[in-house]
């Protein structure tokens, strides 16, 4: 009951306490413009009404893969939170309002006739509330999708995907005391960030030596998608997309 009350009331509080006082700096505006330019031509939506899908999940949980799959089915544009931070880094700006940039870019994509999949972790109530407040005066349908998998699978993905990617990705350029090289530093930072946020997504069960058990989503979601089996999760995404079409 308390969680439902927070989900209902917090957006209005965020609107008054944050949005009305929020003003992007010139560097933040430049980063926003650069990101929009890189998006290029917006894919037209396949849904009757505009949709924003906001992801919930840890690094390595399959958020990005599910986001890309959703985009194929509903005619959507994926907006990656890490890519926005890269643009801010290029401008020498902090990440404080990366959230605001993502929201602005999402609404701009909707104005251009597209749907949006926000590839970022919306586990935080304030982040969900901010997005709800931004879209409540529009005709956009906002839904949340949660991704999860076994912890060993997530750690393995964090390591292997980093070695397949460029050393210039968000995590590879992040700050760390690790001195083993830029490529491996990206994997180290990913695992560090994953570990830091595990308590938001999992609870510790002190049985049989102890294990992390996934928590229920903090809000109503369109689906909980287990990404361990690629065939199964792709079918689950298709079914979810059908609900939006």
Q: Is the pLDDT of residue 242 over 60?
A: yes
Question: And the tokens for 48?
Answer: 């009757």
Helix (H) or strand (E) holding 142: strand 141-148
Question: What confidence score (pLDDT) does residue 180 get?
Answer: 64
Rounded to 5 degrees, what are φ and ψ at 56? Answer: -130, 125
Give pLDDT, residue 158: 78
pLDDT tens-place string over residues 18-36: 999 999 999 999 999 999 9
Q: How confident is the model at residue 173 (pLDDT cuts 50, 70, 90)?
A: low
pLDDT at 168 over 50: no
pLDDT band, residue 119 (cuts 50/70/90): very high
Residue 212, Cβ neighbours under 10 Å: how many? 14
Do 81 and 17 form a contact (C-beta atoms < 8 A)? no
The three-point CA angle 75-145-162 to 5° equals 85
For helices 230-244 and 63-74, the axis angle rounded to 10 degrees is: 40
pTM for this prediction: 0.91
Average pLDDT over residues 50-60: 96
**For 2-153+218-244, CATH number?**
3.40.50.300
Interval 178-226: pLDDT, tens: 666 666 777 787 888 888 999 999 999 998 899 899 999 999 999 999 9
């Amino acid at each position: 009951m308390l969680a439902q009350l927070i989900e209902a009331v917090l957006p209005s509080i965020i609107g008054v306490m944050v949005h009305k006082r929020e003003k992007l700096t010139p560097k933040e505006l430049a980063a926003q413009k650069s990101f929009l330019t890189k998006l290029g031509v917006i894919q037209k939506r396949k849904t009757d009404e505009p949709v924003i899908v906001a992801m919930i999940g840890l690094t390595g949980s399959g958020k990005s893969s599910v986001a890309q799959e959703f985009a194929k089915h509903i005619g959507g544009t994926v907006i990656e939170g890490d890519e926005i931070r890269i643009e801010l880094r290029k401008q020498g700006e902090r990440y404080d309002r990366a959230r605001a940039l993502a929201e602005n870019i999402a609404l701009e994509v909707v104005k251009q006739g597209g749907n949006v999949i926000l590839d970022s972790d919306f586990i935080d109530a304030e982040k969900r509330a901010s997005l709800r407040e931004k879209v409540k005066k529009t005709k956009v349908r906002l839904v949340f999708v949660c991704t999860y998998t076994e912890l060993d699978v997530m750690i393995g993905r964090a390591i292997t995907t980093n070695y397949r990617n460029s050393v210039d990705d968000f995590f590879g350029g992040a700050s760390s005391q690790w001195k083993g090289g830029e490529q491996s530093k990206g994997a180290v930072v990913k695992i560090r960030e994953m570990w830091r946020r595990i308590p938001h997504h999992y609870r510790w069960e002190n049985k049989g030596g102890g294990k992390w058990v996934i928590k229920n989503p903090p809000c109503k979601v369109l689906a909980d998608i287990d990404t361990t089996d690629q065939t199964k999760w792709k079918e689950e995404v298709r079914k979810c997309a059908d609900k939006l079409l």
